Structures are given as structure tokens and as C-alpha cells.
Structure 1
Amino acid sequence: MDEHIIEALGKTKIVIKNGRIISMGKPMIKYCPLFHKYRGIKELNKDTIQENIEFRIKDFGMCTPKRELRMRDFLSFGVSEIISTLLEDDIIDCAVMVCEGAGTVLITQPELAQGIGGRISGVIKTTPIKEIIEKLGRENVLEPDTAKIDQPMGVNKALNEGYNSIAVTVASLDDAKKIKKINSKVYVFAVHLTGITRKEAEMLFKTADIITSCASKHIREIGDKKALFKAGYSIPIYAATKAGEKFIKKRIKKIGGLKEKKNPKLPYPLI
């Protein structure tokens, strides 16, 4: 069976089978400044979301055997870009990420981190795609036969294989907590957080190293008060630890600084 469930463009739930959209939910927000800037999308609705997902399937083979996994550094700023820089500079030796068609994977190459994380954010459930798994290496996939997504198990796999400095992306507070219990030195990057509760947001700032705001009003309110460092304007990324601060600043230095924005556009509505 070939079925991939993702959340994208305002956390819209989208089901893709055999390279085609089978079902599509409703977006949680109406406007995202990133998609406006890079894809010219002024409003997130059924038509614009469908058009963008179909473009991704055609352009780089999202959720298909033709998936292009590598992506060069475009000097932009986000979690996958930070992780790519950390791999490139040998600050971490492994990133535990999620890729459609493979599930939880161990990534050691910057271009793969960028190509996997930079092109698609919220993979909720997926099934194995042989061609993707072969490109990544079966040995780097948590469960090649099922494409299971389990970030804490992925961290365990990385530790068992001898990696010493590990970053991991998580989309839930529960995963962040489990991973810090497994090994408190693993760097946790919290992503895909639109719609989380205030309590979850507060706990993330006590658990994760780097937190992206997405369209969360709670992340912004708490981050603006408690974060050690904040980068970005429309969709800020926050550092909750000294390590997180160092990582964000390293990426900023690599791209030659962040330009100050006057009246930055924000996601709408913040939720």
C-alpha cells in the first residue's frame, strides 16, 4: 500500500496515494508569509493548497519514487538550514529526521538534511518507498519495512550506532520529553507547532533547545519573554538553551546576517 499523510500549508491534513491527492482537510490559518514570499500564495484555501501540493509532487517527486532528496543551501533561515550548517561544520554528527517514504531516518549529510526537512515539514504517517529508502541507505532508516515514524526510537538507534552529537526534530512535547530522558545531551528542535496549547508551549521552552514559532501565538508570547535568543521576524525561531543560541547564531553568521524587516507580515490568524 502506498499512503502518505502530511500536514502542510497551514497544517492542512493531506493524504497522497500513488502520487495523487486523495483527500484534503481545511487549513488552520488563512495566510502564511513564507508561502506568500516564495510561492506567491496570498491566501491558503483549497485551490491554492492543492496547486502547491501538486507542484511539489511534480517538481521534486514528493511522496513518490522520484523524490529528489538533496538540496543545496539557498542561504535561507529555518530549522533544516540550521541542522545542515551544524552537520557541515561537524558540530553534530547525526540528525534524526522524518522523510516521507522512509519514516524516521538518520542523516549525516547537509544536503540531505536540507532536502528532506526544507521541502516538507509535517509528515504524520507514511509507507515505505523502496527508491527513497535505497537512496538514504537501509541502514539509516529506523524501520525500512514499515517506514515507522518514532523520533525517540530514532535517537536510540543513533546512540547505539555510536553517534556522539545528535540533533533531532520533534513535532510534539511528548517526544521532546522522551528524548531528553533517553539522553539529555541530544539537541531537540521543536517544529510544526501551529495550534499547540499554552501549557505545551511553556513546557517546550523547558525541554527543547530550538523552537520554531510557526503560526503559534503561545510560542511567540512565551518566546519573546523567556527565550535566550530570537531570530527572524515573520516566523521567529527561538533558542531556549545556550546550545540553541549558539546554533542559531552560527547559521546567521553563515548567511551573512539577517536583514531587519519593517512591519513584517505575520501568519494569520495566530492560533
Structure 2
Amino acid sequence: MQDRHVIETLGKVKVVIENGEIVEVGSSEMKYCPMFHAMHGVDELNEEFIRKNINFRIEDFGMCTPQRVIEMDDAVTVGISEILKTNMEKGNIDCVVGACDGAGTLLMTNPRVVQGVGGRVSGLVSTTPIPEVIQNLEAKGSVVLDPETAELNQLEGLKLALEKGYKNIAITILPSPMVEEIRNYPVDDDVNVYIFVAHTTGAKCDEVKMLFENADIVTACASKAISDYADEHKPYYYGVKVPIFCASEDGRRLLDVRLEKINKPLTTNDYPRNKDDAPYKLL
């Protein structure tokens, strides 16, 4: 099978990696990010910078290669993987259905693996199996949905988690109709399913309503539709530049657990938000 991995990053830029090398970089309307400017002195998110950033990930933690690091400490103060890691440590979540380059959809029960898999990787569109990555994940207690194909299918991941008897299941997923399918999938009364939607840049108005009606956490990224929806419906949130929105009370509770641990102010619904603080052009 050809070694090929497709991710979306830095404003929905499509990047293709084969055999540890970047073979394709797409384009994006998003050209500037004050956070990258402040941290790295980057004035423009052009192809040169994107290649440099992705090559750093390949070299630093082996993204899309057999050298993939699967365990990690917190990458940022508050992100999806940090929220999941903290709640797993607290016993609020016993299984995370995630996605890893080189493995596809998988079940994770180790908090450091949850962080390592999700901490610094953007939206995974497709991937192919890397035996070394799968073996390392399995050695840390993870279960790969399909080691032969590295299939990405979070609904099937939920079904596998239910078969294995997990009761408090968190699912990370990109914006898609599958979010609603997962929410409507029948589960026993003693099972809780928490849906975390990430990498939402470019999300459209019609799907944003569906996301907020079915998910528990929705990241803002650079989605104008999500920003506008939040300003209208005023969900609880944390963060100014790139907010994390609570689409449910469960989402708020799980986010607050992380904020409490790191001694940050809890979620707020203070509106209007200052859109001038948005870190980049909203798509």
C-alpha cells in the first residue's frame, strides 16, 4: 500500500506527505496569524512557511512516519487534547475515540497517548497504515479500528468502544454529517458520549447549527460562521483569540475541569466578544 497521508492545516491548507516527505501543499485565503507572528516572527502564512512548519512536525515528533511519538505532555494551556487528557486523569472519561496518522481511528485509554496523538496534529483527512506506529499504540493499550487500512470512521470507533464496554466515551471529529449520526446512535442509559469538534476553519453556516445542536465542544479556529453563531446564541466559552465554545452543559463541565486544574478563570458567556481579537481572517 502506498504511504500517503493528507492533512488540513493553517487555514484549511491541504498538505500531502508520502514516505516522510511533503509532496503537495495547497493554498488558503488565510495569510496572516498574529499568534504565529508573535511566536515565530511570521508575517505571511505562505507555502514556504507551511512547508517549514510541517517539516518541523515531521522532524520533531515524527508525524506521518514510523518515528511517530505517541506520548506527550501538554502542548498548550487549553486545547482539545488537554481537556481530554485532564478529564481522563480525573476519571470523567474512560475512552477517547480519536484519529492518528499512520493508524486511523483508534480507541485510547492512556492520557499521555491522548495528548501525544492529538496535541500537535491538524485535521487528518486520510492516512495509510504505518506498522511501527500501530504497534507502539497497541503497546500503550490503544485499539486501532482497522490496522489493515487505517480507516477514519469515528462512528465505527464509537461502536467499537461500546462493544468493549466503555461508559464515558469522548470522540474527536472534524465537521461532518457524522457528528449528528454519532449523537443519534442508540446507547444504554448508563453510557455518556461526548463529542469534540475540532479544525473548523471554513465551516459553513448550515453545518454550524448542526454542530452546536449535537456536539459538546466546538473549537472556533478561523470559522466566521462559528463566530457569528456564537455571537447570536451566546454559548459559554473560554479564550479570546481562538475561543473554545461549549455546545452543551457537559461540554462546559469538561472544559471547566481543565481550567480548574491550571488555575484559569472558568468558562464565561460574556458578550459581545471583541472580534478584533480574532487571530486571523475568518473564513
**Bin for the TM-score computed over the shorter chain:** over 0.9
Normalising by structure 1, what TM-score? 0.94
The answer on whether the counterparts of 2:75 and 2:120 sit within 8 Å (CA) in structure 1 is no
The more displaced of 26-35 and 5-14 is 26-35
Report the counterpart of residue 113 of structure 1 in structure 2: 114
The alpha-carbon deviation at position 75 of structure 1 amounts to 5.7
Q: What's the secondary structure of 1:44's corresponding residue?
A: coil
Aligned mates of 2:66, 2:156 — CA distance in 1:
25
Normalising by structure 2, what TM-score? 0.90
The alpha-carbon deviation at position 222 of structure 1 amounts to 1.2
Report the counterpart of residue 124 of structure 1 in structure 2: 125
The more displaced of 9-18 and 75-84 is 75-84
Aligned mates of 2:113, 2:181 — CA distance in 1:
25
Aligned mates of 1:180, 1:190 — CA distance in 2:
12
The more displaced of 131-140 and 233-242 is 131-140
The answer on whether the counterparts of 1:12 and 1:28 sit within 8 Å (CA) in structure 2 is no
Provide Cα deviations, 1:178-206, integer angstroms capped at 9, x if missing partner.
10111463111111111111111112111
2:104 is the alignment partner of 1:103: yes
The answer on whether the counterparts of 1:104 and 1:151 sit within 8 Å (CA) in structure 2 is yes
2:90 is the alignment partner of 1:89: yes
Q: What's the secondary structure of 2:177's corresponding residue?
A: helix
The answer on whether the counterparts of 1:187 and 1:208 sit within 8 Å (CA) in structure 2 is yes
Report the counterpart of residue 177 of structure 1 in structure 2: 180
The more displaced of 133-142 and 121-130 is 133-142
Structure 1 unaligned residues grouped into runs of 5+: none
| Counterpart selection for 2:216 from 206, 209, 230 | 209
Provide Cα deviations, 1:71-122, integer angstroms capped at 9, x if missing partner.
1125611111111111111101000001000000101111111111111021
2:158 is the alignment partner of 1:155: yes
Provide Cα deviations, 1:10-64, integer angstroms capped at 9, x if missing partner.
1110000110001110124112344345444332110100011111111111100
Aligned mates of 1:46, 1:81 — CA distance in 2:
29
Report the counterpart of residue 32 of structure 1 in structure 2: 33
Residue type at the aligned position of 2:16: V
Aligned mates of 2:38, 2:151 — CA distance in 1:
33
Aligned mates of 1:38, 1:152 — CA distance in 2:
37
Structure 2 unaligned residues grouped into runs of 5+: none
The answer on whether the counterparts of 1:29 and 1:267 sit within 8 Å (CA) in structure 2 is no
Aligned mates of 1:218, 1:13 — CA distance in 2:
21
| Counterpart selection for 1:231 from 228, 233, 238 | 238
Aligned mates of 1:34, 1:103 — CA distance in 2:
30
Q: How much identity, in percent, do the aligned residues show?
A: 44
Residue type at the aligned position of 1:193: T
| Counterpart selection for 1:219 from 220, 226, 231 | 226
Aligned mates of 1:179, 1:80 — CA distance in 2:
20
Q: CA 1:226/1:114 → structure 2, altered by over 3 Å: closer, same or farther?
A: same
The answer on whether the counterparts of 2:217 and 2:244 sit within 8 Å (CA) in structure 1 is yes
